[in-house]
Amino acid sequence: MIAFTAAEIAEITNGRLDADPGITPLSVVTDSREATPGALYVAKPGENADGHDFVPAAFAAGASLALVERPVTAADGTSYPAVLVPDAVLAMGALAAEAVRRIRAARAEQGSDLTVVGITGSAGKTTTKDLLAGILSTQGNTVAPQGSYNGEIGVPLTVFRAGTDTRFLVIEMGATGVGHIRYLADMVKPDIGVVLAVGTAHAGEFGGVENIALAKGELVEALAPGGTAIINLDDDRVAAMRVRTSAKVLGFSAEGRADAAVKALNADTNAGGNPEFDLQLPDGGAGLHVSSRLIGAHHVGNLLAAAAAAWAAGVSGQDIASSLSSQAAASRWRMERTERPDGVTIINDAYNANPESMRAALRTLADLGRGRRTWAVLGAMLELGEDSIREHTAVGTQVVRLNISRLVVVGREARALYVSAVQEGSWGDECLFAENVDEAYDVLNAELEPGDLVLFKSSNSVGLRHLGDRIALPPQTPQPADERSTLL
């Protein structure tokens, strides 16, 4: 982390200093449980809790300074050392922007660079972030977000993990409204901006898919003329962003489009569902073969996006292809495959869901499941606004068209999916509606048989990823009801 004194923090954030000016925090946390000695604790007002309530806990854990919106006093009436600001989240952003400036300046003085890559899109950001960080870390010190940190808090927290020895900084950028990506891009000033896809994720909050396109394009608008915009030419709304940037444009295409500088040739998936292709880069790239360990044809676009960004950052084609071929999924619950000892295969993709990722996962299930009995255990896709019923209905139809053997729909919010599947198909008792995960668990536990392939997929807060984890454990012998009660 870049060292800031309390006095500097007050100056950068336009805050009021209520602490020894020389205190120099060693890290930044927004959760008091993560505070370690010397930390700067940011007290932000949350949806469920107010961070100011945890200032004492943060100091008890060793924090040296707090960033607060109102003074917090200890039981003995003294104030905790703090910088007082009107908005703690904006103050974090200002501090992160200054950290990036200082890293660049320090590295320029040493004759080296900092390359910042921003990644946005409606699906595949974390996957692409992990792939790109995997490639770049073979070349130099790389800082990338933990998990899916991608917002006004997650981005600064990522920046604070970088220092003057950081060569590459990878930033995932999420948005729930117009202006959010611009805010993040102004903070980190990316040299390379990647736009993956414009989907219907968060369409409700955004007020329509056109606003999503507007918002995602803010990343390429923010690039300087010396920068590079990495654009997905397979998505018309992304391809249209070419005219919204003054940076160099590098288009990629999983569909082999002629005008793409980075593309996959001879793309296919192997028996395990892993994509393979010959990688074409702007300077040719004959002989570059990528044989990925990720699951699902939809990852070809993410692999190409990571390849294009790495190439723009100066990595050789050989290093890109070999790193992409060696990397498995770095984050949990993304097409995570478990082979149960009894021959049941579980694919847990329930980290999150939107219509695009739902379709991609179902296609992969059908593809991998040839000759096997396939199960789709699906929960709601949230935050779709007025499109919700239509999108769930479309998924129900798709399940039938893909010939999935059995469907388990979990939770009232996903009921439209169940109804449309029933109307579309000629199911006997192969289509089931479960009120909650426990009901679904009992059905699966009783009925899964060796050879079955089961997909779990829902939005994050529906929690099917945990159901998938339970089912991935060796099967339990169902207990008769009376025995169960004696066990309790």
Residue 124 interacts with, from ligand ATP, Mg ion, none (CB under 5-8 Å by kind):
ligand ATP
Instruction: Please pick, from the candidates 44, 104, 167, 298, the single residue that binds ligand ATP as defined by CB under 6 A.
Output: 298
Cα separation, 396 vs 204, in Å, equals: 20
471 with 447: CB under 8 angstroms? no
| DSSP assigned state of 270 | -
Kind of pairing between the strands at 262-269 and 275-280: antiparallel
Residue 84 beta carbon to ligand ATP: minimum distance, rounded to whole angstroms? 33
Residue pointed to by tokens 């990595």:
315
Instruction: Please pick, from the candidates 126, 253, 269, 274, the single residue that binds ligand ATP as defined by CB under 6 A.
Output: 126
Query: How many residues sit close enough to ligand ATP to count as binding (CB under 6 A)?
Result: 22
Tell me: does residue 125 bind Mg ion (CB under 5 A): yes
Residue 299 beta carbon to ligand ATP: minimum distance, rounded to whole angstroms? 6
Tell me: does residue 27 bind Mg ion (CB under 5 A): no
Cα separation, 131 vs 138, in Å, equals: 11
3-state helix vs strand vs coil in the chain, percent to 5: 40, 20, 40
Tell me: does residue 127 bind ligand ATP (CB under 6 A): yes
414 with 392: CB under 8 angstroms? yes
Q: For residue 56, report the phi and psi dihedrals to the nearest 5 degrees.
A: -60, -40
Indicate the SS3 state at residue 100: helix
CB of 17 or CB of 250, closer to ligand ATP: 250
| Span from 106-114, 122-130, 342-350, 459-467 in contact with Mg ion (CB under 5 A) | 122-130
- Here's the x/- map for ligand ATP, 163-182, by CB under 6 A: it reads as -----------x--------
Residue 407 interacts with, from Mg ion, ligand ATP, none (CB under 5-8 Å by kind):
none
Residue pointed to by tokens 């007002």:
45
Tell me: does residue 216 bind Mg ion (CB under 5 A): no
Strand partners, 168: 115, 142
Residue 386 beta carbon to ligand ATP: minimum distance, rounded to whole angstroms? 20
Q: For residue 465, report the phi and psi dihedrals to the nearest 5 degrees.
A: -60, -35
Residue 457 beta carbon to ligand ATP: minimum distance, rounded to whole angstroms? 7
Instruction: Please pick, from the candidates 237, 244, 334, 465, the single residue that binds ligand ATP as defined by CB under 6 A.
Output: 334
Which parts of 337-356 interact with ligand ATP (CB under 6 A)? 349, 351-352, 356
Instruction: Please pick, from the candidates 32, 158, 302, 345, the single residue that binds ligand ATP as defined by CB under 6 A.
Output: 302
Tell me: does residue 127 bind Mg ion (CB under 5 A): no
Residue 454 beta carbon to ligand ATP: minimum distance, rounded to whole angstroms? 15
Indicate the SS3 state at residue 137: coil
Cα separation, 88 vs 41, in Å, equals: 10
Residue 136 beta carbon to Mg ion: minimum distance, rounded to whole angstroms? 18
Cα separation, 320 vs 333, in Å, equals: 25
Residue 50 beta carbon to ligand ATP: minimum distance, rounded to whole angstroms? 26
Residue 125 beta carbon to Mg ion: minimum distance, rounded to whole angstroms? 5
| Span from 160-168, 296-304, 368-376, 415-423 in contact with ligand ATP (CB under 6 A) | 296-304
CB atoms closer than 10 angstroms to residue 461: 11
Kind of pairing between the strands at 336-339 and 345-348: antiparallel
* H/E run at residue 111: none
DSSP characters over 191-253: SEEEE----STTHHHHTSHHHHHHHHTHHHHTS-TTSEEEEETTSHHHHGGGGG-SSEEEEEE
Residue 456 interacts with, from ligand ATP, Mg ion, none (CB under 5-8 Å by kind):
none
CB of 81 or CB of 147, closer to ligand ATP: 147
Cα separation, 159 vs 187, in Å, equals: 10
Cα separation, 31 vs 90, in Å, equals: 17
Tell me: does residue 263 bind ligand ATP (CB under 6 A): no
Instruction: Please pick, from the candidates 5, 138, 141, 148, the single residue that binds Mg ion as defined by CB under 5 A.
Output: 148
Residue 122 beta carbon to ligand ATP: minimum distance, rounded to whole angstroms? 7
Tell me: does residue 273 bind ligand ATP (CB under 6 A): no
Tell me: does residue 10 bind ligand ATP (CB under 6 A): no
**C-alpha distance from residue 266 to each of 289, 290, 328 (Å):** 10, 11, 21
Cα separation, 48 vs 467, in Å, equals: 25
Q: Which parts of this chain interact with ligand ATP (CB under 6 A)?
A: 121, 123-127, 148, 150, 174, 197, 298, 301-302, 334-335, 349, 351-352, 356-357, 360-361
